[in-house]
Structures are given as structure tokens and as C-alpha cells.
Amino acid sequence: MAELTTVKDLSDDLARHVLRTATGKARELDCKMNVAVVGSDGNLKSFFRMEGAWTGSIDIAIKKAKTARLFNMSTGEVGKLSQPGGSFYQIEHSNGGLVTFPGGIPLKTAQGDIVGAIGASGDTVENEHKVALAGVEYLLKALKGE
């Protein structure tokens, strides 16, 4: 007998809290960023453009989140695999354009279920990763009831 799977996804409220935590980290780092959260299907769930954030980073933040969700790994990892000779070489040209540098991270439950992804853009890739990671850490704490 065939069985259906249950898809876990972020609620609207949880996505907004992840976003708020990430933008709070950006403020702490004194960065002006665009931050995107996609749901388990890879489509945009929540987005925030901080005042003064680069317009060009809007699309990058969304594509970082999408890339992290489509491949279930951080965009930094996708970037390593997409170097010349790598198994993902030129993958950034697929799926309507992907981003292969840090700042996009899957959002997972403590059990490893992927429920979405977050992407941040507008500063150094190191700070973008820190901002996205703040959202990831918030989600894990929220799901544990902390």
C-alpha cells in the first residue's frame, strides 16, 4: 500500500521570528542587510529589507535561501562543490540562478527535518553567514521551547 509523507514547514509566525532574530544580529554587527526566509518548498515565506540595504542584495538574499533549500546545504558548501572540477561545477546557472557563496543556510529541526532556509545579503560573506546563523539558532531554540 502506498503511503503519503508529511511535509513539515515553517508557520508564518515562526518565519517572521527567524527573520527578526537575523535582522537583530545584523543590527548588532552594524550591517544593513536583506534577509529572506523560504519554506520547505523553497518559495519565499518572509522577507525584510533593512533601511539602507543595497537594492542589488534583495535578489541575492532570496536566491541564497532558495539555493540552501534546493540542495539542503549551506551556500558556502554549494560554493565549494561548484568550483572548477567540482561535482557541482556551474550549478549556479541552473534553477533560474543560484548563489554559491556563504550566507544561505537550511533551517532544520533538531531531528534533521528541513523546514526551510534563510539567506542574508548586504555585507561581507562572513557577516552574512553570521546573520543567517542567528536565524538558524533561533529556530532550534524555539522548537525546543526555549
Q: Each residue of 107-127: pLDDT tens digit?
A: 999 889 999 999 999 999 999
Helix, strand, coil shares of the chain as percentages rounded to 5?
Answer: 40, 15, 40
Among the listed residues 65, 56, 46, the one whose alpha carbon sits nearest the alpha carbon of residue 103 = 65
Name every residue whose Cβ is closer than 8 Å to that of residue 53 and which is 6 or more positions away in sequence.
32, 33, 34, 122
pLDDT for the residue numbered 135: 98
pLDDT at 62: 98
Torsion, Cα of 136, 87, 80, 41 (10° steps): -20
> How would you class 38 by CB atoms within 10 Å of its CB: exposed for 0-12, middle for 13-18, buried for 19 or more?
buried
Report the pLDDT averaged over residues 89-108: 88
Q: Which CATH superfamily is domain 12-144 in?
A: Haem-degrading domain (3.30.450.150)
In 10 A of CB 4, how many CB atoms? 5
Domain boundaries defined on the chain:
12-144
